[in-house]
């Protein structure tokens, strides 16, 4: 199973970047694509970027959770969120609104999607946590996400823009149940020479390959993983 995650950077330089994104995804051929910073700005398009990309990629299954209202200096209030494209059926979707710190200017959500692969459900959580600068909003959001999934009695492949520079330093939070893509050194936010896009996979999965895209797709690089099961 091959999964790609990419922060789409809204519609910034969209016409220039769209062809680069399409070329990468066409060459990489992921089974599932998780997008962050998916926006609906009616002054630009009646479709969000994931929908526009899929008009050419033609993945048979698509779902957007574009629910958060955002202010803009260029446009009226617009909506932002997360999206998934899949070659395999989506059997269930849900959106969780994370708790909002009063100092955080963003509302954050988690997109939960159950994908049927060969008749078996693969549970996914698409995330985009808040930027950690003077105050760490992302760590509490990661903990809440893990706690919510655990309370449901589930384990999910968690992927996206964590906005955390050093997920590997937080093994006490996730290592009991998950393995992280941090086992391979890579950069996913090249302008700051850091990585903040990750995969956490339940321990019944194993990373077989972890790669990143070039720099022309977004201000983030796409991260693509190939994962298999630890038992057949």
For residue 105, what are the contacts with CB-CB under 8 A and spacing of at least 6? Answer: none
What percent of the chain has pLDDT above 70? 99
Q: Is the pLDDT of residue 72 over 90?
A: no
Report the number of distinct structural domains present in the chain.
1
The stretch 80-96 carries a mean pLDDT of 97
Q: What is the pLDDT of residue 96?
A: 95
What span, in angstroms and rounded, lies between the C-alpha atoms of 205 and 227? 6
pLDDT tens by residue, 105-143? 889 999 999 999 999 999 999 999 998 777 899 999 999
The whole domain housing 135 covers 2-229
The reported pTM is: 0.96
Task: Please provide the average confidence, as pLDDT, over all residues in the chain.
Answer: 95
- What pLDDT sits at residue 105? 87
Q: Which pLDDT band holds residue 231 (cuts at 50, 70, 90)?
A: low
Compute φ and ψ for 210, nearest 5 degrees. Answer: -135, 120
**CATH code for the domain of 162:** 3.60.10.10
Contact 38, 10 (CB under 8 A): no
Contacts of 163 (CB under 8 A, 6+ apart): 128, 129, 130, 131, 132, 137, 138, 196
> How much is the pLDDT for 67?
87
Strand locations in 148-221 (E): 157-161, 178-180, 197-202, 205-212
């Amino acid at each position: 199973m091959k999964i790609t995650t990419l922060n789409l950077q809204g519609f910034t330089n969209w016409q220039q970047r769209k062809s680069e994104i399409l070329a990468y995804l066409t060459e990489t051929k992921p089974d599932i694509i998780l997008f962050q910073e998916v926006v609906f700005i009616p002054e630009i398009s009646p479709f969000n970027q994931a929908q526009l990309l899929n008009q050419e990629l033609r993945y048979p299954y698509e779902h957007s959770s574009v629910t958060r209202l955002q202010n803009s200096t260029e446009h009226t209030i617009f909506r932002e969120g997360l999206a998934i494209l899949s070659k395999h059926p989506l059997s269930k979707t849900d959106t969780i609104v994370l708790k909002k710190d009063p100092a955080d200017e963003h509302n954050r959500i988690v997109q939960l999607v159950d994908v049927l692969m060969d008749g078996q459900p693969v549970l996914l959580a698409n995330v985009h946590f808040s930027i950690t600068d003077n105050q760490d909003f992302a760590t509490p959001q990661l903990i809440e996400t893990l706690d919510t999934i655990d309370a449901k009695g589930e384990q999910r492949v968690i992927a996206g823009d964590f906005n955390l520079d050093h997920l590997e330093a937080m093994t006490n939070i996730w290592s009991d149940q998950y393995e992280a893509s941090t086992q391979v050194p890579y950069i996913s936010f090249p302008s700051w020479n850091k990585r903040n896009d990750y995969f956490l996979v339940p321990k019944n999965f194993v990373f077989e390959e972890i790669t990143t895209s070039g720099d022309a797709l977004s201000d983030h690089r796409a991260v693509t993983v190939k994962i298999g099961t630890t038992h057949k």
